[in-house]
Chain A
Amino acid sequence: MAAFTYAPAIVLLPFVSFLVALFAGDRMPKGGALAGITATGGSLLLSIWVALTVAGGETYNQFVYTWVAGVESLQLRFGLLLDPLSALMLLIVCLISFLVHIFSLGYMNDEDETGLPRYYAGLGLFTASMLGFVVANNLLMAFMFFELVGLCSYLLIGFWFREAGPPSAAKKAFLVTRFGDYFFLIGVVGIFATFGTGLFAPVTQGGEVVAESFPVLAEHAVIDGETESIAMLDTVGMSAQAWFTVLGLLVLGGVIGKSAQFPLHTWLPDAMEGPTPVSALIHAATMVAAGVYLVARMYGFYAISPTALAVIALVGGFTALFAATMGLVKQEIKQVLAYSTISQYGYMMLALGSGGYIAAVFHLTTHAVFKALLFLGAGSVIIAMHHNENMWDMGGLKERMPVTYWTFLSGSLALAGIVPFAGFWSKDEVLYEALIHGFGTEGGLGTAYLLAYAMGLLAVFFTGFYTFRMVYLTFHGNARSDTARDPVPVRWNVKGPLAVLGFLAATIGFINMKPVAELTGAHIDFLHVWLNGPDEGGWPAALNTGLHHYETLLHDVAHVTKGYPLGETPTLLASAGISLGLALAGVLAARSLYAGPDPVEHTDKLGGLKTVLMHNYYQDEYQVWLATGVTYPVARAMDKFDQGVVDGVVNGVSSVSLFGGSRIRRIQSGLVSNYAMLLTLGLVLLLAFFGVMGGWF
């Protein structure tokens, strides 16, 4: 249990580094970077300790601090929930943050950027907030840290605030995610109002449940019909399941904004205006994962709502395909990666929606590694190219930057989903889960799964294509500009993180090689075991956050069942074969078009489609139109109403009041005989009134 005692330090260490960088960064070597590296390193070590303790079968779910003690049972508290899911996420966040801090030495310090204390303060605060979000044991605490990471994202995207692009992109990111968070906030309030608690998992003391969690309460209400204690249901006049679906979808608003899912994905490509290490940390590996993580965190709540599951799966599948097509035609290396990020988070949502809890967490893990790697690799290229990001000005960097090339290639193979790199295993599992659940589940939900699966499958081809288009244009062929012929060399602090991540991108997939496990019968699906826990009793049963519990819920309530059109093993192999084949087809297509020494643009062949893709399906245009064409006139009409009617009434009331007041003043003439007369008159009027009323006369 000792590890859990020190667990709050995981969050607090980066926070201290934030304070140090903010207040003493000027006077420190490297502008506060060393404090950040030390803090995240320390957090990483503590996270490993926590993960090892969790691996030993222990979990932790306790309140740490009560900041609002309610009159009745409602209390607002901070608490820590450390179970396999959060322990894994802690590892990911700490690791990436640690590597990004080191990489920043090369990207920011060696480039003589100004404002470094501000940069490292932002990174520190972000890391602290993200870790706080990960360990949060209740929804309100999660929401608060969710907003804090959004704030840090805003601050860091706009780091170069003197240029034109970054401040505008920062504002866009802030506003678009806020739009989603607005629904999230309503959802949080709704969940608190419905259940009186926001706990993700029940708090137990000595085997007794002392504070129930809202997913468990919801589960009891839907399965056992225990709705008496939920007064909210009478208020809204809905069945328990319908109301919980509404609440789940409200929370999903925040998820869609933060994880850049359609239609709130438009902020992420613009967010690439920020420094590239920031893109790697925040806009690829961690913050964007917060949305997906939140769904996984309260998966028990979504598992009892088939509608919400279908929405999640469809949004995910559609986003995966939609974003992949937009990535096909981009010219800047970070833009390709941004659309790829949106697409990959689509896969995770697809997995969560279609009952593939493990697949989603698995893909979250592998993606964090290989996408951080790709962004850092792109950062290395950008250093070399004097901050020119256009791929058509690159070419031939393979010989001049071998470390960057080979690690980037490792990440690209992982992203494209080529065996045996990480992305293959996780993406294959996502698609496999969608497929078997699509076949097995009856009714509309099954159809939705199959539709989402089809979109996700098609996106595999596009992923392979755009990934290797990027690789060929950047590293192969002849150099197409002077800077590409003579790139700036990068130092150890860039190569080191790349090497670590490059190795991991190739190997991290081995933690859950499901097809191999299936074929050989060896128990090497470690992630499955990690999240599943012992099948009976033990910690997942106490917390209700184990995979086993979720699978039961999915099966019992949403009737998500497995179906094997070709029998179990052949289906597995066919699914893996199809996705691998499509990925390879994409890679080969890219090779045939862009592999030559002097590749040319082929986008014109797309004709009108090119324009559509270049403009991202006019997503920005229609959202701007929504703002200027709809919201603005409505706001103006409201303003007119406010100015004219509301203010008019208020002004009218005050002028009437003052006029009336001055009239009343005039009654006070100062003549005592007038007073006596008015007094008597008043009395007589009262007498007359009551005399008539009471029939005295």
Chain B
Amino acid sequence: MAQLPSWMGLAPALALGLASLVLLLSDSIDPDTTNTPALAGISVVGSLVALASAVGFIIGGTGVPTSEGGQGTPVLFGGQLVVDQMALFFMVIVASVTALVVLASYDYVSEHSYQAEFFALVMLSATGMTLLSAANSLATAFVALELVSLPSYALVAFLKKNRGGVEAGLKYFLIGAVSSAVLAYGISLVYAATGVLRFDGIATAISSGTIQTIVDGSVQAQSGEPAVPMSILGVGILMVIGGVAFKTAAVPFHFWAPEAYEGAPAPISGFLSSASKAAGFVLAFRVFAVAFPIGDLLATGGAINWVVAFQILAIATMFIGNFAAATQEKVKRMLAYSSVGHAGYVLIGLAAVSASGEGLSFSISAGMSHLLVYGFMNTGAFLFIALAEYWGVGRRFEDYNGLGKEAPVACAAMTVFLFSLAGLPIGGGFFSKFYLFQATLNVGAWSLAAALIINSALSLFYYSRVVKAMWIEEPTGERSIDSYPMGLYTAVVGAAIVTFLLVPGFNQVSEIAFQAAQLL
């Protein structure tokens, strides 16, 4: 196969961006269009092209060094973007979730106006996520992050007449503004301390202990070799953690999440809680694995042991997310909190590292695998909520009573999602959680392992409440389901099938993830 030009590495992002531009164009030509099939079609095609190209690149070996039989890693714009296996892995997650979400939105928004804007915003946000996956510098990362965030604020408040949605959107925006400020300040401190924004440059500064600069694309020490002020760097890193925590909805930056997820249209909740969370994590994985290498930080001393910070965050996030989910009365809010809890599980990816900095690749790959599985099972669960909202079924657990008799296929899919989220071996969630558990055991992080087990057990309790309501309880009131929307059903069933197929297929996923993490 001939070597493709390196910008082709961004094909997934380009496909998504192009789709969003086409949608914007059509919106400007015919602002009041209600041709949902065309709009949704463009979006689905765009995300599927992105998905196909990302999968193709992974299989084709893009991002694997040529010395290891791969196609080499495309590096673009002076090292601002890098398309390695990890970037592609997350592009797959983002593109799959986007495809599911826009497919399901076909039925969800067909009654509403401003449809073209809806789809365009989703695609723009997805473009931001794919760029974030490939970002190799704090500046690019920040811009990409804002590209992810700004459309999502609008999407949460998309139903303008819905007071809850608008309120949630505003809160989301305000908290997002605070968090962005924290992140921007953190970035500026890191820059002040190291003199560079590119991840590899920051790493060189930390390992050498001198402030660096970039000349003609290559990192070199500043003249006079001034030393890196470690305390400033430490504060900067901690604030970067804050920015990441906002995007991944981790404690204590999680306050926006339950309300935004609950107030937003359900497909958007799925989009935010799966794809947006994954985008936050890819930034975290890349920044902390590449730019702030824990081994060098520990060797130099003085700055910060961010592993401890992530351990605190992981445990707090697991407990707060799951405990709050256990006492909810509304299904969607329960899922919103459980999504916070899952952020805690994935944070193990950065927390399960031994005292000498060993085991990072394994734990990151565990976190990546969990995010992939989670992308399907959690999106699927939110899409089921969308289905319930579409039918006008209420929001509380009791309102789901007896739903299994009327919509057995969708409820079976939901059962797969919920049990997989809880970590039962009916879906890939069992293996990804087990993989995370293994990561904690490998480095002897007993507190993380215990938190994982306790919270998984607790989560089984509240997930089962939905299953019990659907299949065992008798319906309380009159309810009639008269239509079975095609797009939503396809998305829900498709997600369920993939969730289930990830049981036998998990091995391949974890292998790719491990390779990607090792190549960082």
Contacts and interface: CB of A to CB of B under 8 A. Distances in A.
Interface in A664-697: 664-665, 668, 670, 672, 675-676, 678-683, 686-687, 690-691, 693-697
Contacts of A687: 235, 238
B309 A690 contact: yes
A676 B174 contact: yes
Given A690-B304, A694-B304, A675 B256 contact: yes
Contacts of B461: 654
Contacts of B458: 657
Contact of B326 (A661, A670, A695, A697): A661
A682 to B, nearest CB: 3
B256 A690 contact: no
A24 interface: no
A668 B254 CA distance: 10
A683 B234 contact: no
Contacts of B45: none
A693 to B, nearest CB: 8
Contacts of B412: none
Most chain A beta carbons < 10 A, residue from B308, B309, B323 = B323
A658 interface: yes
A135 B28 CA distance: 83
A672 B234 contact: no
A696 B175 contact: no
A48 B231 CA distance: 92
B259 interface: yes
Nearest to A690: B304
Given A679-B255, A686-B309, A696-B234, A672 B171 contact: yes
A694 B170 CA distance: 37
A639 to B, nearest CB: 23
Contacts of B23: none
B174 A679 contact: no
Contacts of A686: 238, 241-242, 309, 312
Contact of B231 (A654, A680, A683, A696): A696
Nearest to A680: B178
A675 B171 contact: yes
A654 B460 CA distance: 12
A668 B178 contact: no
A682 B327 contact: no
A415 to B, nearest CB: 59
A579 to B, nearest CB: 64
A299 B327 CA distance: 63
A672 B174 contact: yes
A658 B322 CA distance: 10
B17 interface: no
A686 to B, nearest CB: 6
- Size category, A interface: 20 to 34
Given A657-B326, A690-B238, A696-B235, A682 B251 contact: yes
A672 B258 CA distance: 12
Contacts of A681: 252
Given A661-B324, A695-B302, A678 B231 contact: no
A286 to B, nearest CB: 43
Contacts of A660: 319, 323
B436 interface: no
Contact of B323 (A661, A670, A672, A697): A661
B187 interface: no
A662 interface: yes
Contacts of B259: 668, 670
B253 A682 contact: yes
Nearest to B172: A672
A690 B311 CA distance: 13
Interface string B247-270: 000011101101100000000000
Interface in B202-242: 230-231, 234-235, 238-239, 241-242
B238 A658 contact: no
A664 B324 contact: yes
A683 B182 contact: yes
Contacts of B179: 679
A681 to B, nearest CB: 8
A694 B327 CA distance: 38
Interface in B463-508: none
Contact of A661 (B238, B239, B327): B327
B95 to A, nearest CB: 31
B385 interface: no
A679 B178 contact: yes
B303 interface: yes
Contacts of B170: 672
Contacts of A682: 251-253
B323 A664 contact: yes
A661 B252 CA distance: 16
Contacts of B231: 691, 694-697
B343 to A, nearest CB: 15
Contacts of B104: none
Given A672-B175, A694-B231, A694-B302, A678 B324 contact: no
Nearest to B251: A682
A586 to B, nearest CB: 66
B305 to A, nearest CB: 8
Contacts of B147: none
B431 to A, nearest CB: 17
B244 to A, nearest CB: 12
A35 B238 CA distance: 83
A680 B302 CA distance: 24
A672 B260 CA distance: 12
Contacts of A662: 327
Nearest to B302: A694
B386 interface: no
A96 to B, nearest CB: 48
Nearest to B252: A682
Nearest to B234: A694
Nearest to A656: B323
A658 B327 contact: yes
A697 B178 CA distance: 25
B327 A679 contact: no
Interface string A482-524: 0000000000000000000000000000000000000000000
Contact of A690 (B234, B319, B326): B234
B97 to A, nearest CB: 26
B333 to A, nearest CB: 9
Contact of A665 (B175, B305, B324): B324
A664 B328 CA distance: 11
A679 B241 CA distance: 13
Contacts of B241: 686
B320 interface: yes
Interface in B11-46: none
A476 B378 CA distance: 87
A672 B170 CA distance: 9
Interface string B438-477: 0000000000000000000010010000000000000000
Most chain A beta carbons < 10 A, residue from B231, B241, B325 = B231
A679 B252 contact: yes
B368 to A, nearest CB: 25
A61 to B, nearest CB: 36
Given A690-B238, A694-B302, A675 B255 contact: yes
Contact of B239 (A665, A679, A683): A683
Contacts of A672: 170-171, 174-175
Contacts of A679: 175, 178-179, 252-253, 255
Nearest to B455: A657
Given A664-B320, A690-B309, A676 B178 contact: yes
A661 B255 CA distance: 15
Nearest to B242: A683
B396 to A, nearest CB: 15
7 contacts: A657-B326, A661-B325, A664-B320, A675-B171, A679-B175, A694-B231, A695-B231
Given A661-B327, A664-B324, A665-B324, 6 more contacts: A664-B327, A679-B175, A690-B238, A690-B304, A694-B230, A696-B231
Name the 3 nearest CB pairs between A and B, nearest first: A682-B252, A661-B327, A696-B231
